[in-house]
Structure 1
Amino acid sequence: MEPVCLVESVPSSGALQVNPAALGLLRVLARPLHVLAIFGPCGTGKSFLMDRLVGQGEGFPRSPGIWVWCLPHPTQPDQALVLLDTEGFPEQEGDETKLSHLFLLNVLLSSVFVYNTRSEGDPQRQLDRLTYVRDLPRVVRVLDECSRENSFLLSSECSRENSFLLSSVLPDFVWCLRDVAPDPCLDEVLEATDHELDSALSSPQDSEDSPSSCVQRLFPCRKLFRFCSPRGDGGHGEQLSPAGQLHPMFQEQVGRFKDYALSRSPKTVVGNRAVDGAFLADFLERIVDLLSRDEPVFLSEICNGLQEGSNYSVGYPVDPMGGAPPSRAAASAAQPSVLEPKREHMIPLQASRPALPVLAKVAPSTAQPGAMEKPMCLIENSLDGELQLNQAALALLQSVRQPVVVVAIAGLYRTGKSYLMNRLAGKDQGGFSLGSTIQSHTKGIWMWCLPHPHPCRAGHTLVLLDTEGLGDVEKGDTKNDTWIFALAVLLSGTLVYNSLGTIDQHALEQLHYVTELTESIKVKAAGEGGRQEGEDSAEFVRFFPAFVWAVRDFTLQLQLDGREITEDEYLENALKRRQGQPKKLDLPKKYLRQYFPSRKCFVFDRPAPRRDLARLDELPEAALSPDFLEQAQRFCSHIHQHAGTKTLPGGHVVTGTLLGNLAVTYVDAIRSGAVPCMESAVLALAQIENSAAVGEAMAAYEEQLGRRVALPTESVQELLELHAQCEREALRAFMARAFKDEEQQYQRQLKDRLDSKRAELCCQNEQVSSDRCTAALLELSQELEERVCKGSYSVPGGYQRLLDDQREMVEKYQLVPEKGIMAAEMLQQFLKSKEMVAQAVLQTDQSLTDRQREIEVERARAEAAERDAQLSQEMQARTEQLLQDQERSHQEHVQQLTAKMEQD
């Protein structure tokens, strides 16, 4: 959609009113919303900055009121992006009530609030202009326990409580400081920008009611971005033409701002609940109505009123890191939400938000998304026994753009799985929680994302998955165990099966979950919902992980028929088919051999005496068995060196984003009662990834275009060569991310968009050239026009003077540089427009005979015909060049597709 006016002033009264058409556009957005609003003084480039967020030359119309632009989120396909652009407030005093209301709407509707100012003098002065922030705690209230009779005169206790609660529901505060003088060392300055913001907010002379103090008190999450002038020369950005004229430093700064702003959490309301477009539309209407009647805004009351009897996507927790909410089925299965926190629940309100993931404390240059100090539960059992995704952990996983090495561990409960995973993470103490009783301790599937420790896996993230112990007698639900084991198989690249004692028939019987995989997982989607015939082990092998059996508390000698054997030989001997053994007893062996052709075995001594096992994670290395330490070291080294990057059939590398989407697909299938289908999951992923690949490719095209193209070009060929270079980069970006685009549906989509961009670029090039040529001709012909108006040529010999002056003007025009490809056509149009004037002067020139006049008419016609012929040839050449470029583009797509297919 194009931007539309969302909130405008009533001409007669000046009160705010909502545009019903814009509300209709909001109401069709069923996904969680990421709402970014911008506010600030006039003339600071707010609309220009918002347009750059979506890669547009012009989008917002820079008109009064609040304008809304609804778009697909460029990095989170499960969210919608809503941009709000608000009219600027004037240097001098304006309608303060209206401006205060516009500010309040920006803050209450957004998940990221951007305050945009120019860098003029003391930054503190720019911040102090945001006087409207002082109205927030006075007008907007979270709870309604304080007296309504004097609702605008809060007691100090209520005011403090209200400010505290407001700070938990208000958006991120981002200050954009524009037109900072370009500085080669600006990158170093940027490292200290957040400190600079805190300094501006902590001025000792500020009163408690100053804008700086209010921002500091009400917005705990704050960020400062500095921008040089878009042109690098101190000029304003709004007057710029589209691509090619932006300063590289400004483009880089916009990129940083965009990455930060779009990575924040979706819009939430009281109780940290995500909202969709329908809820936001009704929420806006209620607030505008209250403001128009000069009444306080009680957020909890509004949210509860809207929630009752509605089908809004509000009512389930959302991750502060920006993850998507669960399905509505999941929401209905969850505990009822409480949107109105009571006074006695003031502290739980803060604590009820999903805990922020504890990110690893590493140097800024080495920090990576998803790095965690401690594990988080990724898939949990709800109170009714169903599996559900923890949105905070899911969002963190989806933030990992690196390839992932996924190691999952499964096995009977109370067999030391968590302790072994902690060793893999390099944590002797802390990490996955260990239990010290007979009860199963780990519930669901827990996740730990870490930078991969091995040098050969630099740039990879190690994802450890610790699963709930199988066979817990207290659980009484074997189906849950089957799904936990199936998810461990589906999500991992290496599966560690952990058992105690020896690999004997009893241990193999305990591994009956392997025999149930064919009932729990499908490879291909069958017609009419039935199973397809012919699914065999070879199909499963394409999807299944490498298999490692860890035998704990092993006390036997590794000997067979009087000779020493390796651990791997021990495993393979245990998996052999025994003559005379019933087929039923052989099934676990058979399926292990067929489904997991890559197998490895490790045996471990008991790590410590039995009396110390209850506090194993507290024991120092010296208190552990040396043999166990050596065995654990070999195990960890093998996993770190040989556990491969998680891939999909066809060799496509899985990132954290893809792994999170896989988890969503599989868990949703299980919750719906269906059997997870691996091929369907991959196809669903392919659709998400391929759509994102098209978007990423177009972003790469735009970025390259902005760096290379300066319009107008002197020839079509020059422009097409630039387009070809940008298209090549776009194709590389697409091919790097796309997979299973077997019918080239998305590549054709990309080609169509690139073809449209080429046509748009050619039109834009012609328009810029036409404008420049027209301006040059108008300037050069000004003196000639004045002479015509004065009658200077209406004298004997005037026709020849007119021709001479016109010829001199054309010569000067030919010397004008950088006219572009429309130079000849615009000159021909100009000369044609002057033919009637020339004919009139010719007919009135008394120095010429009738025959001379006829000769001059024929000569003028011949010259015009010659120019038309030349122009026609030039146009034909342009058309041929465009056709050749279309063929070149087709061949480029075929070549890159062929190369990718060979690579796959």
Structure 2
Amino acid sequence: MEPVCLVEPVPSSGALRVNPAALGLLRGLTRPLHVFAVFGPCGTGKSFLMDRLAGQGEGFPRSPGIWVWCLPHPTQPDQALVLLDTEGFTEQEGDETKLSRLFVLDVLLSSVFVYNTRSEGDPQRQLDRLTYVRDLPRVVRVLDEFSWENSFLLSSVLPDFVWCLRDVAPDPCLDEVLEATDHELDSALSSPQDSEDSPSSCVQRLFPCRKLFHFCSPRADGGHGKPPAPTDQLHPMFQEQMGHFKDYALSRSPKTMVGNRVVDGAFLADFLERVVDLLSRDEPVLLNELCSDLQQEGSVYSVGYPMDPIGGAPLRRAAVSTAQPSVPEPKMERVVPLQVSRPALPVLAKVAPGTAQPGAMEEPMCLIENSPDGELQLNQRALALLQSVSQPVVVVAIAGLYRTGKSYLLNRLAGKDRGGFSLGATVQSHTKGIWMWCLPHPRRAGHTLVLLDTEGLGDVEKGDAKNDVWIFTLAVLLSGTLVYNSLGTIDQRALEQLHYVTELTEHIKVKVAGEGGRQKGEDSAEFVHFFPAFVWAVRDFTLQLELDGREITEDEYLENALKRRQGQPEKLDLPKKYLRQYFPSRKCFVFDRPAPRCDLARLDELPEAALSPDFLEPAQRFCSHIHQHAGTKTLPGGHVVTGTLLGNLAVTYVIAIRSGAVPCMESAVLALAQIENSAAVGEAVAVYEEQLEWRAALPTESVQELLEVHAQCEREALRAFMARAFKDDEQQYQQQLKDKLDSKRAELCHRNEEASSDRCKAVLMELSQELEERVREGSYSVPGGYQRFLADQREMVEKYQRVPWKGIMAAEVLQEFLKSKETVAQAVLQTDQSLTDRQREIEAERARAEAAEREAQLSQEMQAKTEQLLQDQTRSHQEHVQQLTAKMEQDRKQLLAEQERALALKLQEQERLLRKGFRGEAARLEQQMQNLRQEMNRPRRSVCVVC
């Protein structure tokens, strides 16, 4: 989409109104949102900055109000990027009410708020121009009550504050270490002459997460007031600085509201409407109440858990006694979930906003093609699209002689009367390579139907029979259901044309050969485990389905054609033999000609009524059978194949073919397992971090509370890993995950201690101010001053003890604080003239005893903390073993079911052979079944305990 106006000023009134069309665009965004808003003086390049963030040369129109641009996130494909460009303000007095409201909207809607200015004179002056920040605590509150602590409650829900200082004189040292700029920002915010109500002080108080970026002039000639230069003419240093800014901005967390819940576009749109209405009536925006109302009215959060009645876990600490001091609570650092970047998705289907799924295609694309030198190669655009499909796939491939109507049959299967796979109307083969069409499965929610249309076999113009064999082999390896399409009848000639089946043993290996090598029979006997279901579609069929004077079914017709004939040379019987052996699951459909010969050239243009009923009826049954019975593509062992896995399989097989090797199923599966298991570790860590972001509110009151949060997050991470990982027989990747989660726990404990320590120190700093002031004034340097000092210190400690949610470091920080005051206490004690030397000695001994008691108590707490951590390690170990055991049992059941199906099919084939008198082949099949039974009865492998 192009940028559209989201909020526009009403002429001559100063009020704001929301554009319904822009709201509709927002409501179509069902994914988590990254919202970036820019605000600042006119003529500072705000729109240009947003255009660069969008990766565009020019997009925003630089018009009044707030303009919105919705884009796919460039690094997080499951999230959306929303850019807000706001009109600039001038030095002259203007409509301050309108600008203040625009500022409030930018802050409330964004996850990153960008203040953009030029570097002209003193930077402090540029920051002081942000006078609208002073109105923020008055206009926006988290809770209606306890308004005295609104500022630090508000700071916990406001976005990151990024100051972009433009047109700074180029200096190579500026951007060597970006962190150095943060010190400069803090210096600008801490000017001693600032009042408490100055913009600098307000920014420092309200935005705990702050960042400063310097930018030189974007033009290499340093010109001001000129149009922005094209990308290739931008100053190299500006491009480098812009790269740093984009990396930082795009790595931030999605937009959240009260309770730290991630929101989608529908919630943000409803939220915006309500805020504009409140601002227009000059009513305060009560965030907790507003979010709760929207949730009850149906504007639910896209991700997260029900809100706490007073605004979610992080805000439960707001309900403190008014007798307690207002202590700013450190804002918990947001956890950025790991995401696996995926390629851009071409040719997406045109569906309703918010319903598009990755991989849905408007039209087919070539997946595997012939390079100019005749080698097979993958189309990278199609491969990227296929690998973006995270759903399980049902893969149906069609193969057969050229000019037999394969593409038309697949179009019927896709439910498309027009368009779809291209049809040819001449004697030349039309489809080249293997074409792919990904569609939502019509009967299985959460599944993608992948149709593969293969190049026609036997084209006399190709002159390369080897290409046909590899096309057929790839169709077998990639599909879960293989449709073989032929014309006329299933006779000896039709079977001879299916000679590709007899050559599969030369082009597919099941397992890697051992020291003594493997016999062809050993490999081919296992084809049944992973070969697709076989459907023979006989086109232009004109015979009656009768045999020996009785009507037969289509399946009986196929089985009769595949019967071995006594006395027939074995060479002529090979296609029948291998079809029965490799494809024990078989089905047949016969079709009359769809239309008169004169209409076949425009078959895709004919309406349904013009088609032959004798074609439509079997075509409907064929489509119904495929939609209902074509199974999800699986790997040996029952692991479900997603589009990502299918794309990786295609890469593995094509690489093997191009190198002259024979594709090996075992090698391919092991290679896929390594890729998937590595991805499963990353996904599990991302799930842990997402869960932690929703659940954790630091600091916690106890180690046990923190460990319970970690345990819940770890449990969900393990489930995600187990759902995706496979063939991790040595638990190598599960051990990697455990190491990462152990590291996350240690990091979480450290962050919890830091958050607790920061909060406790802030509380003590505020509570001790009066005591320290009295010490400086000499209030205790009088007779009886020591007792008064002790009383005031005890009162301070009691107030400290009553402040809630200080966390696990409360006692340790207090002990360190009191230790730091021992010198002061000793000085007061020595100057108290009302005490005798003996009394001073007693008081000093008492102080030492109290300090020793506190140390002993701290030691006990540390020991208890260590024991809790050890217990959590045991719990973690048991959790890993428990989920691993369940995973192994599930895999065993899947494998056993797969082996039982294979055994049943072999048994049926053996019975057919015995009935026809082929005892030699029946005996060989019996040996295969015996080997399979032995494999099924092998004792279960014990769980390899994760350390």
Tell me the TM-score normalised to structure 1 length. Answer: 0.64
Distance in 2 (CA, whole Å) between partners of 1:719 and 1:869 is 24
Question: In the alignment, is the contact (CA less than 8 A) between 2:505 and 2:524 conserved in 1?
Answer: no
- Of 853, 861, 871, the residue aligned with 2:840 is 853
Aligned-partner Cα distance in 2 for 1:666–1:398: 15
Query: How far apart are 1:659 and its partner, in Å?
Result: 1.4
- 1:763 is aligned to 750
Hey, what does 2:400 align to over in structure 1?
411
* Partner in structure 2 of residue 604 of structure 1: 591
1:389 aligns with 2:468: no
Amino acid at match of 1:434: L
Q: Which residue of 2 aligns with 1:772?
A: 759
Counterpart selection for 1:471 from 458, 474, 477: 458
Distance 1:45 1:706 in 2: 32
State the AA in 2 paired with 1:834: K
Give the one of 860, 868, 877 matched to 1:890.
Answer: 877
Distance 1:557 1:240, change over 3 A: farther
Q: Give the 5 Å matches for 1:595-744.
A: 595-744=582-731
For 1:241 and 1:679, how far apart are their aligned partners in 2? 53
Specify the SS of the correspondent of 2:472. helix
Equivalent residue of 2:397, what SS? strand
- Work out whether residues 401 and 485 of structure 2, in 8 Å CA contact, stay in contact via their aligned partners in 1: yes
Residue-by-residue CA offset, 1:6-28 (whole Å, 9 max, x unaligned): xxxxxxxxxxxxxxxxxxxxxxx
Q: Distance in 1 between matches of 2:264 and 2:664?
A: 53
Q: 1:97 to 1:453 in 2, by over 3 A?
A: same
| One-letter code aligned to 1:620 | P
Match of 2:349 among 355, 360, 363: 360
Alignment partner of 1:754 out of 741, 765, 770: 741
Aligned to 1:515: 502
Within the candidate set 784, 796, 799, 1:809 is matched to: 796
User: In the alignment, what sits opposite 2:489?
Assistant: 502
2:560 maps to 573
Are the aligned partners of 2:440 and 2:447 in contact in 1 as well (CA < 8 Å)? Answer: yes
- Cα deviation, 1:416-475, whole Å, max 9, x if unaligned, reads 111111111122333212222222111101111122222xx1222211111001111111
Q: Which residue does 1:135 correspond to in 2?
A: 228
467, 488, 495: which is aligned to 2:475?
Answer: 488
Aligned counterpart, 2:774: 787
Say if 1:534 and 1:87 are closer, same or farther in 2 by CA, change over 3 A. farther
Farther-moved stretch of structure 1 (403-412 vs 685-694): 685-694
Q: Which runs of structure 2 are paired with 1:547-558 in the superposition (5 Å)?
A: 547-558=534-545
Change (3 A) 1:720 1:139: closer
Shift of the 689–629 alpha-carbon distance from structure 1 to 2, 3 Å rule, reads same
Map 1:91-130 to 2 at 5 A. 91=118
Are residues 401 and 190 of structure 1, via their aligned partners in 2, closer, same or farther at CA, if it must alter by over 3 Å?
farther
Say whether the 8 Å CA contact 1:244–1:711 is kept in structure 2: no
Distance 1:184 1:704 in 2: 15
> Aligned-pair distance for 1:496?
0.3
CA contact (8 A) 1:495 1:548 kept: yes
- Deviation per CA, 1:739-786, whole angstroms, max 9, x where unpaired? 222222222111111111111111111111111112222222233333
Encode CA deviations 1:315-350: one digit per residue, 9 max, x unaligned: xxxxxx4xxxxxxxxxxxxxxxxxxxxxxxxxxxxx
User: What is the aligned partner in structure 2 of residue 124 from structure 1?
Assistant: none
Residues 762 and 435 (structure 1 numbering): CA distance in 2 closer, same or farther, change over 3 Å?
A: same
For 1:508 and 1:465, locate their aligned partners in 2 and report how far apart those are by CA, in whole Å: 23
How far apart, CA to CA, are the structure 1 residues paired with 2:472 and 2:516? 23
Aligned residue number for residue 536 of structure 1: 523
Kept in 1, the 8 Å contact 2:330–2:755? The answer is no
Q: Check conservation: 1:401, 1:656, Cα contact below 8 A.
A: yes
Q: Which moved more, 1:87-96 or 1:813-822?
A: 87-96
Q: Determine helix, strand or coil for the equivalent of 1:711.
A: coil
2:117 is the alignment partner of 1:90: yes
- Contact 2:256–2:263 under 8 Å retained in 1: no
- Are residues 1:372 and 2:399 paired? no
Report deviation, 1:580.
2.4
Deviation string for 1:48-69 (max 9, x for gaps)? 9x99xxxxxxxxxxxxxxxxxx
Question: What's the offset of the Cα at 1:798?
Answer: 3.1
Q: Deviations over 1:772-812 (max 9, x none)?
A: 11222222223333333444434443332332222222112
Q: C-alpha distance in 1, partners of 2:432/2:681? A: 39
Tell whether 2:429 aligns with 1:402. no
Aligned partner of 2:438 in structure 1 is 449
Kindly tell me: are residues 895 and 184 of structure 1, through their superposed partners in 2, closer, same or farther at Cα, counting changes over 3 Å?
A: closer
Q: 1:770 to 1:532 in 2, by over 3 A?
A: farther
Tell me the SS of whatever aligns to 2:228: helix
CA distance in 1, matches of 2:427, 2:526: 39
Q: Does the 8 A contact of 1:40 with 1:46 survive in 2?
A: no
Secondary structure of 1:508's match? Answer: helix
SS in 2 for 1:536: helix
State how far apart, in whole Å, the 2-side matches of 1:707 and 1:184 are: 12
Alignment check: 8 A CA contact 1:495 1:545 kept: yes
Corresponding residue SS for 1:434: coil
Alignment of structure 1 residues 862-901 onto 2, 5 Å = 862-901=849-888
* Alignment partners' CA distance in 1, 2:732 and 2:382: 33
Q: How does 1:834-849 map to 2 (within 5 A)?
A: 834-849=821-836
Identify which range, 695-704 or 543-552, moves more after superposition. 695-704
**More displaced 10-residue stretch of structure 1: 715-724 or 431-440:** 431-440
Cα distance 1:784–1:618, how it changes in 2: closer, same or farther (>3 A)? Answer: closer
- CA gap of 1:791–1:742, structure 2 versus 1, over 3 A, is same
Contact 2:433 2:455 in 1 (8 A): yes
**Cα gap change, 1:96/1:811 in structure 2, threshold over 3 Å: closer, same or farther?**
closer
Q: Which amino acid aligns with 1:648?
A: L
User: 2:264, 2:168 → 1: CA distance?
Assistant: 41
CA distance in 1, matches of 2:47, 2:723: 35
CA distance in 1, matches of 2:665, 2:170: 54
Inter-partner Cα distance in structure 2 for 1:101 and 1:837: 49
> Is 611-620 or 668-677 further displaced after alignment?
611-620
Structure 1 residue 530, shift from structure 2 partner: 6.3
Match of 1:187 in 2: 266
> Size of the alignment, in residue pairs?
640
SS in 2 for 1:488: helix
CA distance in 1, matches of 2:467, 2:695: 57
CA spacing shift, 1:846–1:88, aligned 2, 3 Å:
closer
C-alpha distance in 1, partners of 2:431/2:39? 54
| Percent identity of paired positions between Structure 1 and Structure 2 | 78
The answer for the alignment partner of 1:825 in structure 2 is 812
Counterparts of 1:728 and 1:543 in 2: how far apart (Å)? 33
- 1:547–1:596 contact (8 Å) kept in structure 2: yes
In the alignment, which residue of structure 2 is the partner of 1:423?
412
One-letter code of the match for 1:582? P
Whether contact under 8 Å (2:673, 2:728) holds in the other structure is yes
Query: 2:669 aligns to what SS in structure 1?
Result: helix
Structure 2 CA distance for partners of 1:75 and 1:430, relative to 1, 3 Å: closer
